Chains A and B, each alone.
Chain A
Amino acid sequence: MEFLKKLNGWVYQVERFIVVSSLLVMSLVMFLAVLHRSYADEDSVLFGKIAKVLGAERDDATWVSMQGVADWAVPLGLVILVYLGFRTASRRPLWHDGKAKPGATRAEIHGEPLPRLKCLIYTIGTSLAAWGLMVLLFGTGSVEQAECIELDLANQTNLACGLFPAGLQWAASFSLVLMLWVSFLGASMATHENLHLKLEAANRALPERLRRITGLIAGILTACFCLLLAYLGYRFCAVKYDEWALSDHLGALHDSTPIPFWASFMIVPAAWLLMAVRFVGEGVLAFRGELNEVLPELRELEKQKESVVS
């Protein structure tokens, strides 16, 4: 039993690592995709909208002049934001441990703002670095995008094109694949912590001894249902694998990515299987009366209370 618990804990840590890094990658990729769109698009959507509010039609004089304003106003706005960021930033050490001395006032924790001159220097440095990063990623814009894509296809590199001359069109599909993994692993982790939403109102009304038995039965039945879903997931993957193999690895792919469906959906049967095992474990814990039954929203508070008591 102890070994099983430990093994469960290890698996949980692996899941946690995958899930946290995937979530960060997902948001970064989506963020870069939006960034590329605004960077590569010659027209500013925001200023186009402002022009429209002013009553201008697309491509008429006001609209064009507003776009002219956007060319310098947007970068300037961003630079001002960075300056404000430095000016209002807390003076706590950057990678501090997150805790402050009890009883410290705000001023003691966060300190005086940086001097203006320093902020200005930092702002210029940061803005230049950010611009350099954009050029590195998406090119300078001096070479036509189509040309860059041709060069890319011919396996030649041109520094002016950047790493992703065509942007990150695959961002959404790629993030969806990661989300599939994140959410199924998340569901499996929720089983580990007994955090699944339950309709347990009726069950709670039963006497304690009976509840232990129903807990065991519920765990086992839930596990059976998970197995059914794992099997359905496996069948889905098998069908998609056949499609992929028959189409010479060109079909059954996610939109604008080379990732085949079967590979991304593999997590579905795997996670249901893992959940099935964990639900059996949960049933056993319920039978032994060791299940953590505090409402999810209150777990953190309970932990704090316990730590205060101890």
Chain B
Amino acid sequence: MSGSKLPHSAVLSPRKRASVFGSVCVFAFVLLLAASALADGGGQNGPVLSLGAGLAVLFATLSLAVVLGMPLFVIIGLIATSCFLFLSEDFNGFLTLDRLSDTGAEMMTKDVLLAIPFFVASGAIMSAGGIARRLVDVARALVGWMPGGLAIAAVGACVIFAAISGSSPVTVIAIGSMMYPRLVDAGYEKRFSLGLVTAGGSLGILIPPSIPMLVYAIVAGGSQPIDVAELFLAGVLPGLMIGVLLAFLAPFNAKNVERERFEFKVVVERVRDGIWALSLPAVILGGIYTGVFTPTEAAAISVIYSLIVELLIHRDIGPQDIPKILTDSVVSMGTILIIMLLAFGLNAFLVEEMIPQKVVAWILDKDLTPVTFLLIVNLFLLLVGALMDSISAILIIAPLLAPIGVELGIDPIHLGIIFIVNLEIGYLTPPIGINLFVSASVFRQPLGEVTRGVVPFIGMMLIGLVAVTYIPTIALGPVNKIMREKDFYEPFPEAREVHVMLEDEDSDEDVVGEQFKPPAEAVIGPTGERVKTLAEIMAEEDAKEEAEEKAAAAKATAADDEDDEDDEDDESDEGETEGEPKPVIGRPKGKSLIPDDPDED
């Protein structure tokens, strides 16, 4: 029983002060942004409470909820419902809340959502078997001969395992519990070994497939749809880079350590043993980027793949283990999904009230350039990452920050990767860093020791973070090359003059809701993507009109077939980016293509 007390008693005091402060800070920030934005505009049609009173009610409810330790979905739900009830411009009594159900139902029609339970399940099935041992063996055979080889092998095994399991704590438990004793036996310093496996495990969310990335793509795609396939691809290079940075420390800490010998025969033998685990990421990513299947389908295939591999080939688990594994993954899926549903409602409110645009105007007033904006975002996210769990942080902050990034010319994919790297570091920073607790508990070491152990690794990750933030090519290069047919090099977004809200305030675009897209200056950078999506709709519309004018009989069936194929694929279809003609933007017809908001009176 005393064991079960360990995590709390060990952490209570550092957690105490910083957490209270942090939780309040995060919410205060969100509220402040909303307040500063609402203060300039809106309100004529009469929200039910004045801004000050509304925010006071909101703030009081939130503080109460936080102090009472209520579940996160209640807190986000409370923000969403009170925003709708007290701050919404077209207040309609209790019926206003129906919008929450509508946005929730709308979210449930997104195919990408399906990828979450599938990836969670396949990761859980694979991890339940003995793939950790197989991967460690492969990595040791491959790099064990290098100076610091065993430590490098640990990082390598973490990278591959993370790609399969998609979960950071699971990686620490699986790879760490296998590698830590071996590292210490081999003569590595205890503190270094602890830090290495704890930090290596955190790579899990950056290397695709990654659940936080899926969540980001869904909740941050309000103002501009985010392609999961692109986000996955963008995570590959930063993930490998941070892996290399972590491994870079190994040779300096391997002074009294014997190296292993390289034997080709052993490599072949071990690769043969681990080939089925090694090829899962290859199947998933290869399938997605050759266009054989979408990320959602890839997720379903990976479940079947892992079932076949674990039950029939590796035979490390039996069918009797399956219900437990799947139940665990479903439960974690359920907790995430209901939060997402409510966060989506909040997202809809933010977009409807054009809060991101208003915040952008406010930011531009302060002469913030993308460089300073990203710096602030990084500092803020590091703080948030230290105080909140990564998925919760994405759910709360991404809907607000992503549209702001878009307005400032920062690619949402790039911003997404910055988000993920920050939150990855958050796994290692006290007081909430979950990997620290897992490590402390798995390796039976005091929390302080683990924390001290990860410090040099956090340093390396910060270097990685700066590189990823200010060299967009690291994240966007592969995406440009493979998915967008652009040059590998991606320039850093330049500061530009945007006066979004002044121009748009009087138009009725706020009722157009999340489809709102300012048509101007939409050629470069991330907006290029967005316009293409709209442009594609327009092009299709044109094609349809032309086709109607011609005689139906003369219509070539081949073209029809192609259209059908495109329609079948979900939004990740790469056809969007492939050399579609760019129609003139901003012509009057464009407006009529924007779907009507269901709530428009």
Residue B3 at the chain A interface, CB threshold 8 Å: yes
Q: How far is the CB of A64 from chain B (nearest CB, A)?
A: 15
Contacts of B388 in A (CB 8 A): 199
CB of A203 within 8 A of CB of B78, answer no
Q: How far is the CB of A83 from chain B (nearest CB, A)?
A: 12
CB of B12 within 8 A of CB of A204, answer yes
Contacts of B113 in A (CB 8 A): 176, 179
Q: How far is the CB of A68 from chain B (nearest CB, A)?
A: 19
CB of B327 within 8 A of CB of A19, answer yes
Contacts of A127 in B (CB 8 A): none
Give the residues from 90 to 119 in chain A that come closer than 8 angstroms, CB to CB, to chain B: 90, 92-98, 106, 110
CB of B332 within 8 A of CB of A195, answer yes
CB of B300 within 8 A of CB of A199, answer no
Contacts of A225 in B (CB 8 A): 74, 77-78
* Cross-interface CB contact of A31 among B66, B300, B317, cutoff 8 Å: B300
Q: Which of A135-143, A153-161, A182-190 contacts B (4 or more CB under 8 A)?
A: A182-190
CA distance A188 to B327 in the complex (A): 12
User: Which has the most chain B C-beta neighbours within 10 Å: A19, A33, A46?
Assistant: A19
CB of B318 within 8 A of CB of A95, answer yes
CB of A261 within 8 A of CB of B105, answer yes
CB of A298 within 8 A of CB of B318, answer no
CA distance A298 to B334 in the complex (A): 19
CB of B272 within 8 A of CB of A88, answer yes
Contacts of A196 in B (CB 8 A): 71-73, 335
CB of A205 within 8 A of CB of B16, answer yes
CB of A193 within 8 A of CB of B331, answer yes
Residue A27 at the chain B interface, CB threshold 8 Å: yes
Residue B473 at the chain A interface, CB threshold 8 Å: no
CB of B114 within 8 A of CB of A30, answer yes
CA distance A278 to B297 in the complex (A): 35
CA distance A244 to B331 in the complex (A): 32
CB of B100 within 8 A of CB of A232, answer yes
Q: Which residue of A lies closest to B388 (CB)?
A: A199
Contact-size category for A: 35 or more
Q: Which of B19-27, B30-38, B413-421 contacts A (4 or more CB under 8 A)?
A: B19-27
Residue B319 at the chain A interface, CB threshold 8 Å: yes
Residue B471 at the chain A interface, CB threshold 8 Å: no
Residues 55-72 of chain A, each 1 if its beta carbon lies under 8 Å from chain B, else 0:
000000000000000000
Known: A98-B321, A198-B69. A27 touches B23 (CB 8 A): no
Contacts of B59 in A (CB 8 A): none
Residue B169 at the chain A interface, CB threshold 8 Å: yes
Contacts of B434 in A (CB 8 A): 295, 297
Q: How far is the CB of A144 from chain B (nearest CB, A)?
A: 13
Main secondary structure of the interface of B (DSSP, over half): helix
CB of B331 within 8 A of CB of A195, answer yes
Q: Which of B307-315, B356-364, B492-500, B544-552 contacts A (4 or more CB under 8 A)?
A: B307-315
Residue B559 at the chain A interface, CB threshold 8 Å: no
Residue B256 at the chain A interface, CB threshold 8 Å: no
CA distance A175 to B303 in the complex (A): 14
Q: Which residue of B lies closest to A305 (CB)?
A: B3
Q: How far is the CB of A294 from chain B (nearest CB, A)?
A: 5
User: Which has the most chain A C-beta neighbours within 10 Å: B19, B169, B312, B338?
Assistant: B338
CB of B301 within 8 A of CB of A34, answer yes
Q: Which residue of B lies closest to A272 (CB)?
A: B338
CB of A45 within 8 A of CB of B292, answer yes
Give the residues from 186 to 223 in chain B that come closer than 8 angstroms, CB to CB, to chain A: none
CA distance A20 to B125 in the complex (A): 13
Residue B304 at the chain A interface, CB threshold 8 Å: yes
CA distance A166 to B12 in the complex (A): 60
Q: Which of B372-380, B437-445, B451-459, B580-588 contacts A (4 or more CB under 8 A)?
A: B437-445
Residue A217 at the chain B interface, CB threshold 8 Å: yes
Q: Which residue of B lies closest to A213 (CB)?
A: B68
* Cross-interface CB contact of B334 among A96, A190, A235, A293, cutoff 8 Å: A190
Residue B101 at the chain A interface, CB threshold 8 Å: yes
Known: A34-B297, A196-B72. A176 touches B173 (CB 8 A): no
CB of B69 within 8 A of CB of A187, answer no
Give the residues from 236 to 294 in chain B that come closer than 8 angstroms, CB to CB, to chain A: 272-273, 275-276, 290-293
CB of A16 within 8 A of CB of B334, answer no
Q: How far is the CB of A234 from chain B (nearest CB, A)?
A: 10
Residue B7 at the chain A interface, CB threshold 8 Å: yes
CB of B108 within 8 A of CB of A180, answer yes
CB of B3 within 8 A of CB of A46, answer no
CB of B301 within 8 A of CB of A31, answer yes
Known: A30-B114, A295-B437, A298-B438. A236 touches B98 (CB 8 A): yes
What are 16 A-B contacts defined by CB distance under 8 Å? A30-B296, A34-B292, A45-B291, A45-B292, A90-B313, A95-B319, A185-B330, A187-B337, A197-B71, A199-B388, A214-B69, A218-B70, A222-B70, A236-B102, A294-B7, A298-B438
Binding site for A on B (CB under 8 A): 3-4, 7-8, 12, 15-17, 19-20, 22-24, 65-75, 77-78, 81, 97-98, 100-102, 105, 108-109, 111, 113-114, 117-118, 121, 133, 169, 173, 272-273, 275-276, 290-293, 296-297, 300-301, 303-304, 308, 311-323, 326-327, 329-339, 387-389, 391-392, 431-432, 434, 437-438, 441-442, 568, 570
Q: A31-B301, A94-B311 are in contact. List 4 more A-B contacts (CB 8 A).
A: A88-B273, A169-B568, A205-B12, A302-B3
